[in-house]
Structure formats: C-alpha cells, structure tokens
Structure 1
C-alpha cells in the first residue's frame, strides 16, 4: 500500500496519477504566496507531477467539471473499464510509457471518437451533466484522432511542444477552459509554473489576500504563477484544494469557530470573513485594494 497522503479522488489521480513525492528549497520564502504553499506542503504533501496520459487526463478533467472529484472518479473508472480494455500503454505512478502507437487497437481517443453518445452518457452518469460531457468527449476525441493521429501523438504534443501553444490548442477545444487546459499541462505535461485555478483556489487565494478580492480565475492564476516558484505550483494547487475541503470551505471556514483552528491563520487576511458576526461573503464584495 502506498504511503502517499494525497487522496486518489483528487483530479491528479492520487497515487495512480503520475505524481511522486518530492522535496523543494527550504530557504526563506520570497513571497507570502510561497510561504502559504510551503505551509500547505508541510500540512499535506510536497509532490511533482507529470506522467499521466494527456488524453485520459483531459477526459478525466472534463468529467470533473461542475462536480466533485469524489463523484467524477467513478465515472472515469467506468469509462476506462468500457472503452480502454485493449490499451497497451502503461500509465503508472512512475510515468513510464510503452512504445507509442499510431492509432489502432487500444487507442482510447479512437474508441471514444466512435462511441455511441447515449451509451457513453450512461457510462459517465455519476459525474453529472453526462449528456453534455459525453458530447464534448466524443467531439474532442474525434478532433484528436483527426488532427494528431491518436492519443500517443497528442500526448507527445502536450509533453514536448511550447506550453503556450499547447494551452492555446486546448482552449480551442469545445468545453475546455483555462482550468482544464492547465490541469493537462500539469498532470500530463509535467510543466513547471502552471497553477490551475478551480473554485477552491479562487476562493482561498482571495480570502488569504494573495490576489485582489475582485480577481477572476485568470487574475488569480496570474498572481499565483508570478509569486510561487514554478516547481511548487503543482503541489500548491492540489494541497490548496485539500485545504479548502478540510478548513477553508465557502460557507463555514474553520476560523469562524476558532482562529487557531486554521493552520493558515498567521498568513491569512480573512478577506470576506468576520468571526465576530459569523458573516462570510465573497471577497469581491469587500472591496479591499490590491497591495
């Protein structure tokens, strides 16, 4: 049994997601954002990411949209059971791969491009919005087969091409937004300096005061990628999500009951949180100026 503390239900895939435990520079952090990430790493895990199959990672991230990782994981597992039985590539935690294929037997993109939409929707129903997601997955799979030749060629593109060009190509795909594109760059491409922003990261970063209270998701991403060393962005993202689940929820952050209950208390501006009244508002409604 692995001693990796990251849950398997995380979008990274946990122990099966290609990430591995790592250690990073322990010198005095250069920014408060780096100090937050270092503290989260001490609280949860310090890892580097990369090694996931890029197309599978893209599908997994689409399944996670507008739902929890706990709910989307069974949909991913069911999809893989039904459509990836013949795959010959290995995507274990080591990130090792078999020799590339050029489409053909075992190519998940080809299998999904040819999938019956109703059958696929039924397969992924636990993820919610399954009709919309099944249509998107089939459309993207067809595009990857047509434009790249299959999942291995797409995987090589994500790993080897200019990250800006990869991000732009992903964002051109139906249903792929910045967070989805960045997850593929991080968990499949293993790219440093990529900090995907989901609802947890968006909320927590502004609540801590690491980005302007009215920053949108892209604004938060720009601040984090500017202020956090590139090699720490990956575990900063996954550990911050875990922190949001355990301590800094949208409606009942731990500091409402006891300031000392939050491990980030000494680094947090509590933007939008008033422990005295118990009121919690979106940081954008507070209107604190960017520092």
Structure 2
C-alpha cells in the first residue's frame, strides 16, 4: 500500500485490513489494566476508535494471493481484483492448481484493477506452482500456515520470490491467526516513526520489532488494522491532522510529531530529521 492511498475515497468495509465487515471476530482482549508502554497505549486508543478483532481463519493460499494483489495499491483497487480472480479461478477446485495452470495474459487481465498486473500475475503463478510442487495444493499449504511453527512459516514465506515481510506477516495474522504479529505497511511505518514508537530512521523490519516488543500479542492484530485506518483518516503522509491544531488529532498526546513543523506546516519523513542532526 502506498501513500497515494491517502488521497483516494474511503475504503470499502470489506477488505483485508479490517473494518466493520473486514473479517475476524470482535473481542475485548486482556483486562482493563493500565498500558505498560506508550505503544500499547496508542493501540488501546486505536482499538477504542475503530475495532478490536481477533484475526485468523482465512485460507492460507488465498490470503497469500490476496496480499500480493494489495501490494502497492489500496484495498479499494485490490478488492475487485481479488473478487474477479476468485470468480474465475476459485471455482475450479484447488485454487493453487488452478492458478498454477493459468495463462499469464488471462490472469493479468483478470486482476488488472489491482495495478502492476503483469508483475503480480507472474508472481501469483510462480507462488501457485511452488505450493503445488511442495505441498501438493492449497489444503496442505493452509494447514502448514495455520499449525506450523510461526518462525518456520515466516521463513518459508520469505523464501518465496515476491513475498516480503509485510506479506508474510499478513498471512500469519489473517490466516494463521498468530498473536504477536504486527505487519508493517507504509502507514504503520510512517506513523510509528512519526509518533516516536520506533526510531525515526528505522526500516520496516525495525519498526515491526519495536512494536511487537512493546504491544501485548493479543493486541497486535487489531493494532495493525486500526493503525492503517488512522493513517488514512488522520495521520496522512502529507497533511496530518495535527497541522490543523492539536485538537484535530485524537492521539496527539502520545505523539512526538517527528518530522512535523506545526508553525511552518512543513512535513518530512522522520528519517530526514535524523539525517539533519
């Protein structure tokens, strides 16, 4: 997902990132004790603003495909591509086998709304072939994702060409239902560094490690989805709400505003602040 998603219309409620109809089971995690870290306090506030859900249960291979479709685009664009793909290939039995045998031109046309359709169709067919070759199809792969050792599952996913840390973590969260997994997309990367929850020059992996170390496992899933929504509505890349005054942002008391100058209205990537020091 890229920052340009901030300028798009509201996302549909049915998407991989959460929302009222985005899957998962509504829960009230843990107890009402005071948060032990600022990151946990932020996640608690986000949960109160948006939703608190326990994720898991999606089919592992379909979740992998769906997350590939969401790369470098918004859910508004990737959702129709996913629906078209499932309508064309998901009713032919094993999805992995169906996609492994798909003609790339036909698949690319089917998922065109997601953007980068030539690259994504090539990736999906390659992943499908690997799943068929190594697991015999989607059923055994799904079982591995849901019951295998989380570190092993993550390592296997990261070995697959076209699968990065965010994609692997989304599969662990939305399919495996693994606690303590906080996928880092562009929104999470920006917000965590801007707020001071991670070092200003941290890369995506360092942000993930910082948040997962500071947020209870049962709160990571909804923290991830709610932080994405907060990034769309309040903490956008170029015009964060705090530029309209502290009262405009519901999380201002938790935020270091790294890279934001309220007086001049200047907004830069937090890493640029470190580079200047």
Which bracket does the TM-score occupy, shorter chain normalised? over 0.9
For residue 7 of structure 1, report the CA deviation from its aligned partner: 5.0
How far apart, CA to CA, are the structure 2 residues paired with 1:14 and 1:107?
Answer: 29
Q: Who is 2:261 aligned against?
A: 274
- The runs of 5 or more residues in structure 2 that have no matched partner are 1-10
Give the counterpart of 1:218 among 205, 208, 222: 205
Relative distance call for 1:16 and 1:83 in structure 2 (3 A) is farther
1:286 Cα deviation from its structure 2 partner: 1.1
Write 1 or 2 for the structure with the bigger share of helix. Answer: 2
Q: C-alpha distance in 1, partners of 2:142/2:20?
A: 20
Whether 1:72 and 2:69 are equivalent positions in the alignment is: no
Specify which of 40, 49, 61 is matched with residue 46 of structure 2: 40
Does residue 1:8 correspond to 2:13, yes or no? yes
Q: Alpha carbon RMSD of aligned pairs, Å? A: 1.4
Deviations 1:17-56 (A, max 9, x none): 5411000222100000000000000000111000000000
Displacement of 1:287 after TM fit? Answer: 1.8
Residue 98 of structure 2 is aligned to residue 111 of structure 1: yes
Give the structure 2 partner of residue 169 of structure 1. Answer: 156
Equivalent residue number for residue 103 of structure 1: none
- Deviation per CA, 1:211-260, whole angstroms, max 9, x where unpaired? 00000000000000000000000000000000000000000000001211
Following the alignment from structure 1 to structure 2, what is the Cα–Cα distance between the partners of residues 15 and 246? 15
Residue of 21, 24, 30 corresponding to 2:36? 30
Length-normalised TM-score, structure 1? 0.88
Cα distance, 1:12 vs structure 2? 3.8
1:73-112 matches, cutoff 5 A: 73-86=79-92, 106-112=93-99
Determine which of 158, 177, 186 is the counterpart of 1:190.
177
Quickly say closer, same or farther: Cα 1:162–1:54, change in 2 above 3 A: same
Alpha-carbon deviations, 1:40-85, whole Å to 9, x = none? 0000011100000000000000000011111111100000010112
Partner of 1:90: none
User: Which residue matches 1:97?
Assistant: none
Give the secondary structure class of the aligned counterpart of 1:287: helix
Separation in 1 of the partners of 2:25 and 2:159? 30
CA contact (8 A) 1:10 1:238 kept: no
2:55 pairs with 1:49: yes
TM-score, normalised to structure 2's length? 0.93
Q: CA deviation at 1:11?
A: 2.2
Q: Higher relative CO (CA 8 A, sep ≥ 6), structure 1 or 2?
A: 2
CA distance in 1, matches of 2:21, 2:37: 32
